[in-house]
Amino acid sequence: MVSNSGFEETIAAGRRVEPRDAMPEAYRKTMVRQVAQHAHSEIIGMQPEGNWITRAPSLRRKAILLAKVQDEAGHGMYLYSAAETLGVSRDALTRMLIEGRQKYSSIFNYPTPSYADVGVIGWLVDGAAICNQVPLCRSSYGPYARAMIRICKEESFHQRQGYELLMTMMRGTDAQREMVQDSVNRFWWPSLMMFGPPDAESPNTERSMAWGIKRHTNDELRQRFVDMTVPQAERLGVTLPDPDLEWNAERGRYDFGAVDWDEFRAVVAGNGPCNAERVARRRAAHEDGAWVREAAMAHAGKHR
Amino acid sequence: MDDDNPYDLLAADDEDQRWAFGTGFTDPFAGVGTALPPGVPAKALARYCLALGDDALIYSHRLQEWVTRMPELEEETAIANIALDLLGQARLLLSRAAFADPSLGPDGLPADEDRLAFFRAPGQFRNVRFAERADADFAELMARLLVFSAWRLELCAALRACPDPVVAAITARSVSELTYHRDYAAAWVVRLGDGTGYSRARMREGLAAVGPLTGELFTASAVERDLPGVAVDPGTLRAGFDSALGAVLDAATLDAPAPLTDAPLAPAPLTDAPLTDAPLTDAPQSDGPLGRDGAHTPALSRILAELQSVARAHPDATW
Amino acid sequence: MPESTADQGEWPLFEVFLRGKRGLNHVHVGSLHAADPAMALRHARDLYCRRNEGVSIWVALSAAITASSPEEKDAFFAPAGDKVYRHPTFYPIPDDVPHM
């Protein structure tokens, strides 16, 4: 029987763990949950933005948004593919999502009532995701790291297009500028929450760091995101809705205000404005589509 | 690897062959001159391009409505791919229409792809009514996609010989896209027709549902008649279409439902009314029952109310 | 709650290999689900070649792939090769495992 000493050696040497390698059960379970929840986030994330495809106000913006949402489906599939190498089927993971036994990024439980949200999601939400994801390109689990590299390359266009839309709107009419500011007011704090609870409340961080599952802590990444984004906001001409946001010369970083962790916990627990709707849409597509999938298998069975 | 700047990692050119991102793009319109060919009436050409562009624009909208509703994730990328291809065709055709006749622009402003898409009224759209119908389920979606793609493929294949070089280039590129779309839909019609008993019943219903407006696809209107030698007479597409459809239905072990095999509608009488004066109504006209004449079903108004909503709310905005 | 059984229509897993225009050989890029090989090829084109042209695609049922591991030491492994990409039926996750 292969021992886990090969695993420890691989981690210590900074090499990648591959599907056939021995690994502690806790590592496998953590990896399945992390990769699956990341996959679910991409698929659910198609909805808040997909909402605006048919109403995009120029044909070029429509094409860009449709391509972006299509990419998100693709990213979900790359990630499910990585999760499946750990011995769980995509179908089982889909059922866990639909039944609420696995989660997805809570940012997607917020509604997107205005078209400016498309730009702000590209800028802030994809920006936060990139901050999270670039370090994951060095995840200790090989299939996940490789999926992350492909995803990061595709996502760089998403963030840039979002920001470019916002720049266009901020140079436009008063109504467009108000729409952007309103959207930023609604999405700023939820974007900070994307990095997860504060380090003090994240019990698994130390072990996850030791195993190369996490490369940076939640607070480190959140700080990095703020530092990168504040100058972008200034350049755009929007105000970030935090009166405590201030450059701290001593730290060489921005100080920022307190996140409302009660809101975060409520949304994570399923009481966000759109939780039910997001899952219901995914459930409907999956369940309504069962007869189609079955027909395809039946046909394949007759024609082997 | 420095991960302070998230983009450093992305810029590294590591020749990783697993990466399928943009390894070269060839411009299909390189070397195509944009000048309108002499002897081709510009306004008539514009109306024709508008009609073909509207077909693609409106049908792409219907396909976009299926994003996040497909029965499997792989089908999400497939349907988005088809919707994107058609949107691309629409943009090129509307732009050509605008170039050929800037006076097509509604409200007296010069036309461009966006003014045409977002600021015309329903009665000014020239798409076939077939494209504006909603699909009740996946079977009907595939039935409509099969008919639309097979028809448009025949049309674009014939238009590769168009005297207008831009239309010829657009349709040449469209042929490979539409072949893919048609084959995708055909594969699904076969799987559903010859799948389970339940899927077979649904597929039959889907084909029956798309039958009624199919005749319009092969019926010439003023838009085609005003452009002899350039526009394709849609009646000539019937044979190729029937052959393709027949092959698919055979493989699906289904019979063609009656409305799909109907003869084309009787041609509408010639009208002298210029395009932009078409009545703003959705009720089919007694002297012009065709979408090409601006007569549409109520579905088009609903589509446009959604499609045009943000643009119309900010008429002076740039996006 | 009914016992978790696989969906009647669950599509098998296929592995995807691509050779790019400048490539000399096919490289594994990931996996996807399809009902049959022709569908798998089409899906592979949609999923992995959205931004690329003129790419050669191979798909193979995951269950049909036999692979070795470069880290293997003979003494620890049976002589027969094993499947690199485990088929989904091997490890169903029990319902009562939290956070999974």
B47-102: per-residue pLDDT in tens? 999 999 999 999 999 999 999 999 999 999 999 999 999 999 999 999 999 999 99
Residues paired with A253 in a beta bridge = A248
What pLDDT, on the 0 to 100 scale, is given for residue B28?
61
pLDDT band at C94 (very low <50, low <70, confident <90, very high): very low
Query: Which three-class secondary structure state does DSSP give residue B198?
Result: helix
| Whole-number pLDDT of residue B185 | 98
pLDDT, one tens digit per residue, over A137-150 is: 999 999 999 999 88
Answer yes or no: do B87 and A62 touch at CB < 8 A. yes
pLDDT at B273 > cutoff 80:
no
| Cα angle value A295/A300/A302 (rounded, 5°) | 100
pLDDT band at C6 (very low <50, low <70, confident <90, very high): low
- Give the per-residue pLDDT at B45: 97
Residues 17-56 of chain C with CB under 8 A from chain B are 18-23, 25, 27-29, 32-35, 38-39, 42-43, 46-53, 55
Better pLDDT: B92 or C19: B92
**Does C74 score more than 80 pLDDT?**
no
Q: To the nearest 10°, report the CA torsion of A49, A54, A57, A58.
A: 100
User: What pLDDT was estimated at residue C7?
Assistant: 65
Cβ pair C48, C30 in contact under 8 A:
yes
Alpha carbons A123 and A118: distance in angstroms, whole number:
9
- Do A156 and B7 count as a contact with CB atoms less than 8 A apart? yes
- Give yes or no for residue A5 having a pLDDT over 60: yes
Interface test with A, best of C5, C7, C45, C74 (most A CBs within 10 A): C7
pLDDT, tens digit, 9 for 90 and up, residues C31-65: 999 999 999 999 998 888 776 645 789 999 998 98
Distance, CA of B169 to chain centre? 16
Q: Is there a contact between C76 and A2 (Cβ–Cβ < 8 Å)?
A: yes
| Chain B positions in Cβ-Cβ contact with residue C25 (cut-off 8 Å) | 17
pLDDT, residue A293, reads 97
pLDDT score of B30: 67
Helix, strand, or coil here: C27?
strand
- What is the average pLDDT value for chain C, to the nearest integer? 66
In this prediction the ipTM stands at: 0.95
> How far, in Å, CA of A231 to CA of A37, rounded?
31
Cα–Cα dist A128/A194, whole Å: 7
Residue type, B157: A
Over residues B110-156, the pLDDT tens digits come to: 899 999 999 999 999 999 999 999 999 999 999 999 999 999 999 99
Whether the full predicted model's pTM is greater than 0.90, yes or no, is no
Q: Which of C50, C56, C57, C58 to mutate to test the interface with B (most CBs of B within 10 A)?
A: C50
Give the pLDDT confidence of A243-263 residue by residue, as tens digits.
Answer: 999 999 999 999 999 999 998
Distances from the Cα of C7 to the Cα of A88, A287, C80, C95, angstroms: 14, 10, 31, 16
How large is the angle between the packed helices B165-193 and A290-302, nearest 10 degrees?
80
The distance of C28 to chain B (nearest Cα, Å) reads 7
Mean pLDDT of B211-219: 91
pLDDT by residue (tens digit) across B169-210? 999 999 999 999 999 999 999 999 999 999 999 999 999 999
Four-CA torsion C39, C44, C45, C50, nearest 10 degrees? 140
pLDDT of residue B10 exceeding 60: no
